[in-house]
Structure 1
Amino acid sequence: MTTTRTLVVAGHGMAGHRLVEEVLGQDRHGEWRVVVLAEEPRPAYDRVALSSLVDGAAPEDLALAGPGLLGDRRLDLRLRTTVTGVDRGARTVTCSDGSVVGYGALVLATGSQPFVPPVPGHDLPGCFVYRTVEDVEAIRAAAVPGRAAVVVGGGLLGLEAANALLLLGMRPHVVERAPWPMAQQIDEGGGRVLAEAIGGLGVRLHCPAVLRAVGAGADGRVERVELADGTSLDAGLVVFAAGVRPRDELAAVLGLERGERGGFLVDEWCRTADDRIWAIGECAAVGGRCHGLAAPGFRMAETVARQLLGAPADAFAGADASAKLKVLGIEVAGFGDAHARTRGAIEYIRDDPRSGTYAKLVLASDARTLLGGVLAGSTHAYPVLRTLTGRRLPAAPEELLTGTPGSR
């Protein structure tokens, strides 16, 4: 006879949801009852698609948990509920509603929280972050078509926020500390093409620029943003999208170690120092490093689920930072050693201002092995180039980029 154990999952974001799906989907013998403590007022949803909420989508369109999962009798999903205490000796979790839940395994999937620069005025009425459905709904309610708005952060999330403001009829400015947008994913040439294309859509980029303060009007609400160089930008509202920080407050409660830059410190199996506690997703510092994308969180969830079910599991071997994206309708991609940091690396660049496209291949010192690259304006070559990364090129770089015969 199988003894049912209780799995407590702290958090119901995208990684936490994948874990629940994997456990319940593969638990053929009824080994686990799953209690999910979800801070938000709704079940897990696709956080990557938040901008679609201002383009006709409804919150339920983003939902990840279908009726089959939500109706599973093995699942106890508690919304608006967080963990406030843990007794590792007794293996119990105390919840914000006062209830106490015993666990056979505890998985921390608390995610991350937006980083808001601690500048004067950062908490004025009219300042928002871009993280949840409720955040987007609040921004939509505050938007005034025709007015200027400022997004702080020129990474992927910041550009998504700028796109949302465009869809709401506002005139967005983007303030970014790096010399070009999406500097983590693409190089200067790709950033230039992206910046030009974004500018053509009506988004004003300020790169590099440092936020100094947020100023209020006579009504006490946001009215302007001041930059370190003395520039003042009109702002009917401000959206902070300048990165995230892992939600690891429970580390102190649990007596568990954090990574150097935050996050619950776990090994390659996503295990903490306590053999009954794991961490996955953006809050997990695997080998000391947190990963802020959805795909690594999914892989962590899958490896933990297999461990819980006693099935063979692969260790989490790190995140592939390669990405092909469409930002404000503009195609960009970065893969492998996109910034040519490998010693002896050679860069092959094809820059076409007339077509608004840019491509760079990073080759090893032998000029034959592909290490990575950047594409902007067009990413039609990405699927082939991605599969060739780390291998010898079967054709000349020009041919691979354009699809036309070339010579070495």
Structure 2
Amino acid sequence: MTRTLLVVGHGMVGHRFVEQLRLRDPGRTWRVVVVGEEHHLAYDRVGLSSYLDGKSRGDLTLVGAELLNDPRVDLLLGSAVTAVDGDSRTARTAHGAHLRYDALVLATGSRPFVPPVPGRDHDGCFVYRTFDDLDALRAAARPGRVGVVVGGGLLGLEAAGALRLLGMSARIVETGPHLMPAQLDAGAAEVLHRHVTDLDIGLHCATSVASVDAGADGRVASVTLGDGAVLDADVVVFAAGVRPRDELAAPLGLARGERGGFAVDAFCRTADERVWAIGECAAVDGRCHGLVAPGYRMADSVARQLTGQVPEPFDSTDTPVALKLLGVTVATVGSVRPDPAQAVEAVFTEGTDRYAKVLLSRDGGALLGAVLAGHTGSSALIRSLVGRRPPADLEHLLLP
């Protein structure tokens, strides 16, 4: 008997889940209904900046003809699920469609966080999340003028790179002590800072935006920082993080994590045995994860569960980052913030261009994790050593 699986959300993680389910369900026991808010097929949001560098929407689309032609998959795009009744196992969309399900997977993702600063709604303020956001930014960009990016994390650096692609000068404002404070320590951040400033990107760390100020025409003209500095600005891009989309928690009677997100266990199960949550909207054991790799692991796990296969619990300690941002590579491997009582660190540097820090267990010297910045060794190779005592030529592997 065919059962109906409702997937709410058609982003990268939702799409990964559907593909994995199709792969693991050759007997076609599930009919899949996918509801997505955007009018576009799922696309590579990680590579979104390339949309401003010549790639088309089609180039970034993840959905192939095989899925589009699969009779057991229905895609409902340009709509949103507005209500869900867990008792009757029904959902209603903004277009009035009523959908019944036997299992529900929430892949609603997240929304950009815009700090509640005065002037954030002025003409010339943008977020950096979708094709439409980038189209609006491209239309407003003026080569040679200044754009201010609020947020110095991964997304903020992407946004600063996008402004440069559009011919603008970029300035980054970050409340933390340095760029990428959630991933990098001060030594790795120093390498990143030097490279970024060499690109003539202004950095303003350890301060915040006090207000976005408009000119006589009502458009953004400047940004006032918490330390009193005033930056000229033609556009402002808010890239200060995201917040999980968990609006359906209340109608489903589901708990949220302390910082939002659907509360799930290590297998992405909610308190309702028919409901799972994956990706940025899932608070696994209380914590949401804003990168795509953890979301893919969640998607794979739930696909296994729904097809009767043995899943692996989600391991939040192994969330690697390996990205090339503005021409410099930064990476984290394994656990980079272990208990100091159980770990010792060793740092290897070469000038201001290369930095590597490894964390070793105090009891047996096994590699726990590493932070890399600049032209270092392969992060994949270093990751393969996690849990093992590193070889004697570790320094050569880190700084080849």
Tell me the TM-score normalized by structure 1: 0.94
1:59-100 Cα shifts (integer Å, max 9, x gaps): 111111011111211111011111111122211111111110
Deviation at 1:22, TM superposition (A): 1.4
Corresponding residue for 1:382? 379
Deviation at 1:344, TM superposition (A): 5.2
Deviation at 1:398, TM superposition (A): 2.8
Deviation at 1:200, TM superposition (A): 0.6
User: Which amino acid in the other structure matches residue 357 of structure 1?
Assistant: R
Q: Secondary structure at the residue paired with 1:303? A: helix
In the aligned structure 2, how far is the partner of 1:241 from the partner of 1:113? 11
> Structure 1 residues 205 and 341, CA, compared in 2 at 3 Å: closer, same or farther?
farther
User: Which amino acid in the other structure matches residue 383 of structure 1?
Assistant: A
Corresponding residue for 1:401? 398
Maintained 8 Å contact 1:324/1:379: no
> Structure 1 residues 256 and 192, CA, compared in 2 at 3 Å: closer, same or farther?
same
Instruction: Write out aligned runs for 1:147-296 (5 A).
Output: 147-296=145-294
In the aligned structure 1, how far is the partner of 2:62 from the partner of 2:317? 23
Maintained 8 Å contact 2:344/2:359: yes
Maintained 8 Å contact 2:294/2:319: no
Corresponding residue for 2:370? 373
In the aligned structure 2, how far is the partner of 1:394 from the partner of 1:351? 18
User: Which of 351, 356, 359 does residue 356 from structure 2 map onto?
Assistant: 359
Deviation at 1:396, TM superposition (A): 4.8
User: Which amino acid in the other structure matches residue 109 of structure 2?
Assistant: G
Per mean C-alpha deviation after superposition, the further-off stretch among 82-91 and 221-230 is 82-91
Unmatched runs of 5 consecutive residues or more in structure 1: 404-408
Deviation at 1:367, TM superposition (A): 8.0
Corresponding residue for 1:406? none
> Structure 1 residues 269 and 336, CA, compared in 2 at 3 Å: closer, same or farther?
closer
1:234-266 Cα shifts (integer Å, max 9, x gaps): 111011111111000111111111111110111
Q: Secondary structure at the residue paired with 1:388? A: coil
Corresponding residue for 1:87? 85
Corresponding residue for 1:302? 300
Maintained 8 Å contact 1:187/1:338: no
> Structure 1 residues 185 and 200, CA, compared in 2 at 3 Å: closer, same or farther?
same
Per mean C-alpha deviation after superposition, the further-off stretch among 371-380 and 394-403 is 394-403
Maintained 8 Å contact 2:333/2:371: yes
In the aligned structure 2, how far is the partner of 1:368 from the partner of 1:26? 40
Maintained 8 Å contact 2:355/2:376: no
Per mean C-alpha deviation after superposition, the further-off stretch among 320-329 and 226-235 is 320-329
Deviation at 1:112, TM superposition (A): 0.4
Q: Secondary structure at the residue paired with 2:47? A: helix
1:88-144 Cα shifts (integer Å, max 9, x gaps): 221111111111011111111100011100010111111111111111111111100
Tell me the TM-score normalized by structure 2: 0.96
In the aligned structure 2, how far is the partner of 1:270 from the partner of 1:383? 27
> Structure 1 residues 278 and 340, CA, compared in 2 at 3 Å: closer, same or farther?
closer
User: Which amino acid in the other structure matches residue 363 of structure 1?
Assistant: L
In the aligned structure 2, how far is the partner of 1:339 from the partner of 1:272? 28
Maintained 8 Å contact 1:91/1:102: yes
In the aligned structure 2, how far is the partner of 1:337 from the partner of 1:318? 10
Maintained 8 Å contact 1:333/1:376: yes
In the aligned structure 2, how far is the partner of 1:207 from the partner of 1:389? 32
In the aligned structure 2, how far is the partner of 1:398 from the partner of 1:43? 45
In the aligned structure 2, how far is the partner of 1:270 from the partner of 1:135? 30
Maintained 8 Å contact 2:347/2:356: yes
Corresponding residue for 1:63? 61
User: Which of 99, 113, 121 does residue 111 from structure 2 map onto?
Assistant: 113
In the aligned structure 2, how far is the partner of 1:33 from the partner of 1:347? 51
User: Which of 291, 310, 322 does residue 324 from structure 1 map onto?
Assistant: 322
Maintained 8 Å contact 2:84/2:252: yes
Q: Secondary structure at the residue paired with 1:24? A: helix
Deviation at 1:318, TM superposition (A): 2.5
Q: CA RMSD in A?
A: 1.6
Deviation at 1:335, TM superposition (A): 1.9
Maintained 8 Å contact 1:9/1:35: yes
Maintained 8 Å contact 2:377/2:397: no
Per mean C-alpha deviation after superposition, the further-off stretch among 313-322 and 170-179 is 313-322
Maintained 8 Å contact 1:6/1:35: yes
